[in-house]
Amino acid sequence: MSESPVLTTDHGAVRRITVNRPDKLNALNAATLDALRAAFEAAAAEPAVRCVVLTGAGAKAFVAGADIAEMNTLTPVQGRDFSLRGQKLMRRIEKMPKPVIAMVNGFALGGGLELAMGCHLRIAADTAKVGQPEINLGLIPGFGGTQRLLRLAGRAATLELCLVGTPVDAVRARELGIVNRVVAAAELEAETMKLADQLANSAPLALRGVLDCVNVGGECGIEEGLEYETAQFGLMFSTQDMREGTAAFLERRKPAFSGQ
């Protein structure tokens, strides 16, 4: 097996990025955070890639958390820098111009759940468990967990998960809004790639417009969000994809989007 902490493979227009530290349950150390950021930068810059799937190597874990052995040696200043390193990665994923799906194949704890929450969609195996157990280490979430969990699951669930530190199963995570779908573990890869292919065949500029609108709207007031949506909606009328999509509908055929 490759010693690289991150592997990338292409399946048509879908790029699969895999955290590749199965012997460490894919724990995130500084080198892995940097490799992931580079992988997402490359995916964003590659026109042939229209959707990204993120997962972890092995059958046990998506990402079981940050690397505790590495964190144990950090000074306060180094701890802050480690937090910033992780937050910059999650923000890069969140602001990707292409849809990113987290394929949660096992434990997604601490930094692993924070990594999944940075993605646009999350599909979990029914055997997966998610949580923010940092309290048990005398820590708090440092890669954006308190903020993204609050926005996904609300105040009560965020406080329970972060204060108590007990993970929840995939079904409960779906009920809380942390994951979008739960499927049988044996069907996880097929179902995730099916959704990824669907997104990869959608209109790329419209996908980006939706991602931008949701990102902007989540960080501003309703009036500003509506204004931004209207501007993006109007901009779509300048694209070939909009003409192709509406023409295909009227002609009762499948559209062929070019991303122009």
* DSSP tag of 41: H
CA dihedral 39, 45, 47, 50 (to 10 degrees): 50
Instruction: Respond yes or no: is residue 223 known to be catalytic.
Output: no
107 strand-pairing partners? 61
Instruction: Respond yes or no: is residue 46 known to be catalytic.
Output: no
Which of 41, 94, 114, 229 is catalytic? The answer is 114
Give the separation between CA 46 and CA 17, rounded to whole angstroms. Answer: 14
Give the separation between CA 182 and CA 47, rounded to whole angstroms. Answer: 30
186 strand-pairing partners? none
Q: How many CB atoms lie within 10 A of CB 52?
A: 26
Place of tokens 């349950």: 25
Short-list 104, 164, 112, 154, CA closest to 133: 164
Which of 70, 134, 175, 219 is catalytic? The answer is 134
Q: Just list the catalytic residues.
A: 114, 134
